[in-house]
Amino acid sequence: MLDLFHTPFSEFEFMRRALVGVIAIALGGGPVGVFLMLRRMSLTGDAMAHAILPGAAVGYLVAGLSLPAMTIGGLFAGVIVAVAAGLVSRFTALKEDASLAAFYLLSLALGVTIVSLRGSNVDLLHVLFGTVLALDDNTLLLLASISTITVLALAVLYRPLVLECVDPIFLRSVSNAGTPTHLIFLGLVVMNLVGGFHALGTLLAVGMMMLPAAASRFWTSDVTMMMLVSVGIGIVSGLSGLLLSFHAELPAGPAIILSAGAIYVISLVLGREGGLLWLAWPGRHLEA
């Protein structure tokens, strides 16, 4: 029985690498996802994941399937879209969701055009769904760096981030930290999406961010705990997804996201903080 869990990792190096990769992604993506969710920006994450595609595609066009080229391209495109959308929503009448939709549609169309200029179907699959079972040293280093930077930056920005979510007017009345905090946070989102992109592809990268975060909301109402729970859920999803893909011969990326999705559904039903079961049978009411 234990062998089912143990053997894939003890026998195959690519499985060990994949596990390290998804743990790194879970460490950074979970907390970022929690803040995206609390700021009602879950769909922003999704939009930005698509916005990364054209940047990575340009990198691919220039240098083929090269890690630095596609990373820089993706970061560049993501940051441009995030910052432009952030500035537009801050200083014009357009809300963030609308401005993001505008920018990411623009960059998505651009990206698809660029990919179609040169590219085989195999490469396209690589870009769309990632290669979690083929992570080399440099990619692992990149993923580890991104999660380290993310955790440190969130530690520094924790207070203004929470304030920006709860009471942005108050933050503006006591400090100028609001706008830089917002922009740095968007930068973290882009970084984590680009990291996730190498392992899971543009379409699924956001899954390791939003699914663990959304699931964690059903277990606790404390922000710090929520981040820890989301990291835990991310790691468990990564582990079970890799095992599932190994034993059932499923594609690894989708298996990981499916695992996270399963944990989300279980949390939705059983979670102590507003899960469906607790809503349906809350028990008799208390004394006043």
Partner 1 sequence: MSAASPAIRFDEVTLGYGRRPAVHHLDGAIPAGSLIAVVGPNGAGKSTLLKGIVGTLKPLEGHIRCNASPGVAYLPQAAEIDRSFPLSVYDLVAMGLWSRSGLFGGISRHDRTKIEQALAAVGLTGFERRPISTLSGGQMQRALFARLLLQDAPVILLDEPFTAIDAKTTADLLDLVRRWHDEARTVVAVLHDLDMVKRTFPQTLLIAREPVAWGETGEVLSPENLLKARRMVEAYDPHADICHRSVA
User: What are the residues binding partner 1 (CB under 8 A)?
Assistant: 38, 156-157, 159-160, 162-163, 165-170, 172-175, 177, 221-223, 226
Q: Which is nearer to partner 1, 24 or 226 (CB)?
A: 226
Altogether, the residues listed in the chain come to a count of: 288
Give the number of other CB atoms < 10 A from CB of residue 272: 12
Query: What is the dihedral angle through the alpha carbons of 54, 59, 61, 66, rounded to the nearest 10 degrees?
Result: -130
Q: Which is nearer to partner 1, 136 or 222 (CB)?
A: 222
State in Å, rounded, how far the first CA of the chain is from the last one. 52
The nearest distance, CB 281 to partner 1, in angstroms, is 21
- C-alpha count within 13 angstroms, C-beta hemisphere, residue 236: 15
The nearest distance, CB 213 to partner 1, in angstroms, is 13
The nearest distance, CB 172 to partner 1, in angstroms, is 5
State the DSSP code for 93.
S
Q: Which is nearer to partner 1, 122 or 286 (CB)?
A: 286
Q: Which is nearer to partner 1, 92 or 120 (CB)?
A: 92
CB 198 within 8 A of CB 147: no
The nearest distance, CB 90 to partner 1, in angstroms, is 12
Spell out the long-range contacts of 151-158 with Cβ–Cβ below 8 A and sequence spacing 24 or more: 151/27, 151/28, 151/31, 153/184, 153/188, 154/31, 154/32, 154/35, 154/188, 154/227, 157/181, 157/184, 157/185
The nearest distance, CB 46 to partner 1, in angstroms, is 21
How far apart are the C-alpha atoms of 261 and 240, rounded to whole Å? 12
Q: Which is nearer to partner 1, 91 or 281 (CB)?
A: 91
The nearest distance, CB 165 to partner 1, in angstroms, is 6
Q: Which is nearer to partner 1, 16 or 172 (CB)?
A: 172
State the DSSP code for 132.
G
